[in-house]
Amino acid sequence: MNTNPNYNYVRIFDTTLRDGEQSPGASLTSSEKMEIARALARLGVDVIEAGFPAASPDDAAAVQQIAQEVGNSPVSEGEGSRKVPIICGLARANKKDVDAAWNSIRYASRPRIHTFIATSPIHMRYKLRMEPKEVVERISDVVAYAHSLCEDVEFSPEDAGRSEPEFLYKVLSEAIKAGATTLNIPDTVGYTTPEEFGNLIRGILTNVPGIENTIVSVHCHNDLGLATANTLAGLQAGARQAEVAVNGIGERAGNTSLEEVVMALHTRRSMFALTTGIDTTQIARVSRMVSTYTGIPVQPNKAIVGANAFAHEAGIHQDGMLKHQETYEIMRPETVGVSQSKLVLGKHSGRHALRVHLEELGFHLTPPELDRAFEQYKQLADKKKMITEADLQALLGDQTNKGEEFYSLQGMQVTCGTMGMPTATVRLCCPDGELATHAAIGTGPVHATYCAIDAIVGVPNTLLEFNIHAVTEGIDALGEVTVRLQANDSPLSERESPQNGRTFARTFGGYGADTDIIVAAAKAYLAALNKLLAATTISNVKGEIRS
């Protein structure tokens, strides 16, 4: 029996800012990354994988900023104890990437280098074009090099789920000899089943010399919808770190979702007998922040954080709930931070009360941002009787962390209906401070608005996704819109995947909230265009039409 008091503690390694940001459309500005990192620290994650510094100077700078600030700010764990999360940077197995990672994370009080190389026959043969022997040598060299810079080194044999177990044992033991302290086992393409994955972890724990002095980690993708089940099977087999992303975002079908693993361990604790350091009451807030900033909506029936996760619509369920909550509820909504008493501020609340509430929600505003938020809040309070936590999050989501704002909405007017052509007149403030106004017709009010904006901004793009929904119940609810778009011909907006090395067209998400849904749609579109402009640095692009 293992008598180590930490034996049953599962480290939560959050990769929302690295693997999560590899999701289509999840491009985040550096201030959004910073806000998410702060929120993850408050949530209590043990490790924040802040990015892939070798990708670009911007990525490196964002990781460095997180290391400097979040990596040196202890957060309260309750009962007087405080912890600082480990800040981790990803590196392919070469010295250049390792140097880039180290140069960004070295500022953290607890830095970690995470290096990886593929070990499955198919990846070694077709992607790496390397012999297994060369892969083993590379692992020894690069892990030893990383260890010479940083005490804490994590190694991942990419595509472990399809690697030959005997070969995995060999590479993992070489990584341990070279100084790896965490061995992460990725099911990169989400291929395995829970039984197979659990057996793989058991085999590793039994057959790799030196493994008992390291932490074994699991990193599962959701291609067959099995990521959470596989992660839990890995933990039951003895892994003690779970790599997860908020809302399960990530490449293709995504990564294991943080909230599912944490709440499974929490709700079924008598079965798993495993603990985490997560403050579960922060889950709903962080989920919402990630969805707002990435522009990736959470599906309503998503476990734990979906809008319907705690809604009990059917009459028979409601009857049961009224008689005894546990008839249909295995978790309390408050446990994950879904508040039942939603009113947070009244019409007469002041600036100080707003600031305190926003800080609780994870928004740290500069004085000018607070002024702007207060003005927005007062406008909303005039239109809406009850301002809820969800309203504040929605309002702030489109007020702050926009990064560079090239174009902003100054005003708009729309006519639509069955009696004429839908027409929108839009006035924007341009990068040089001038106002530009344009009117356009379209097939509907949103189309007309987007045509008018396009005429001013002048960046050819394709709208890939448009989602709209009400933030709260009631006729006076705020509407929120998320969009995702792609530049038509801009090689500068391409980015490279750290795993397959292929460049893919970057897509940009935008978010807007307003009691007027067409205004929310305009704000979301402008937010996405501003991100696109920031990434392609076409800062001098300006429309031709002025009035």
Q: Closest CB to ligand KIV among 188 and 228?
A: 188
Q: Closest CB to ligand KIV among 89 and 442?
A: 89
* Smallest distance from ligand KIV to CB 184, Å: 6
Q: Closest CB to Zn ion among 189 and 456?
A: 189
**Does residue 156 belong to the site contacting ligand KIV (CB under 6 A)?**
yes
116 binds, among ligand KIV, Zn ion, none (CB under 5 to 8 A by kind): ligand KIV
Q: Closest CB to ligand KIV among 188 and 493?
A: 188
* Smallest distance from Zn ion to CB 231, Å: 12
Interaction with Zn ion in 15-44: which residues (CB under 5 A)?
A: 19
Residues near 140 by beta carbon (within 8 Å), at least 6 away in sequence? 174, 175, 177, 178
Token code pair at residue 489: 């011909």
- Amino acid identity of 520? A
Letters for 184-203 (x = contact with ligand KIV by CB under 6 A, - = none) are x-x-x---------------
Q: Which of 218, 189, 201, 178 is nearest to 123 (CA)?
A: 189
Interaction with ligand KIV in 487-516: which residues (CB under 6 A)?
A: 499
240 binds, among ligand KIV, Zn ion, none (CB under 5 to 8 A by kind): none
Give CA–CA dist 313/321, Å, rounded. Answer: 11
- Is residue 54 within 8 Å of 92, Cβ to Cβ? yes
**Does residue 116 belong to the site contacting ligand KIV (CB under 6 A)?**
yes
156 binds, among Zn ion, ligand KIV, none (CB under 5 to 8 A by kind): ligand KIV
Give how far the C-alpha of residue 80 lies from the chain's centroid of Cα atoms, to the nearest Å.
29
Distances (CA, A) of 239 to 55, 205, 403: 30, 8, 39
* Minimal CB distance residue for Zn ion: 19
* Smallest distance from Zn ion to CB 255, Å: 6
Q: Closest CB to ligand KIV among 252 and 383?
A: 252
Give CA–CA dist 100/88, Å, rounded. Answer: 12
* Smallest distance from ligand KIV to CB 49, Å: 9
- Is residue 437 within 8 Å of 410, Cβ to Cβ? no
* Smallest distance from Zn ion to CB 154, Å: 13
* Smallest distance from Zn ion to CB 433, Å: 43
Give CA–CA dist 29/15, Å, rounded. Answer: 16
Q: Closest CB to ligand KIV among 19 and 454?
A: 19
191 binds, among ligand KIV, Zn ion, none (CB under 5 to 8 A by kind): none
Q: Which of 412, 500, 495, 501 is nearest to 450 (CA)?
A: 412
Total Cβ atoms within 10 A of residue 434: 10
* Smallest distance from ligand KIV to CB 86, Å: 16
* Half-sphere exposure for 466 (CA within 13 Å, toward CB): 12
- Is residue 85 within 8 Å of 110, Cβ to Cβ? yes
- Amino acid identity of 251? E
Which range of residues in 78-86, 183-191, 476-484, 512-520 is near ligand KIV by CB under 6 A? Answer: 183-191
* Smallest distance from Zn ion to CB 156, Å: 8
Options 14, 19, 46, 152; binder of ligand KIV; rule CB under 6 A: 19
Q: Closest CB to Zn ion among 153 and 517?
A: 153
Token code pair at residue 192: 């395995």
**Does residue 219 belong to the site contacting ligand KIV (CB under 6 A)?**
yes
Which H, E and C letters describe 17-69, residue by residue?
CCCHHHCCCCCCCHHHHHHHHHHHHHHCCCEEEEECHHHCHHHHHHHHHHHHH
Strands 215-220 and 182-187: parallel
* Smallest distance from Zn ion to CB 137, Å: 24
- Residues lying near ligand KIV in the complex (CB under 6 A): 19, 116, 156, 158, 184, 186, 188, 219, 221, 499
- Residues lying near Zn ion in the complex (CB under 5 A): 19
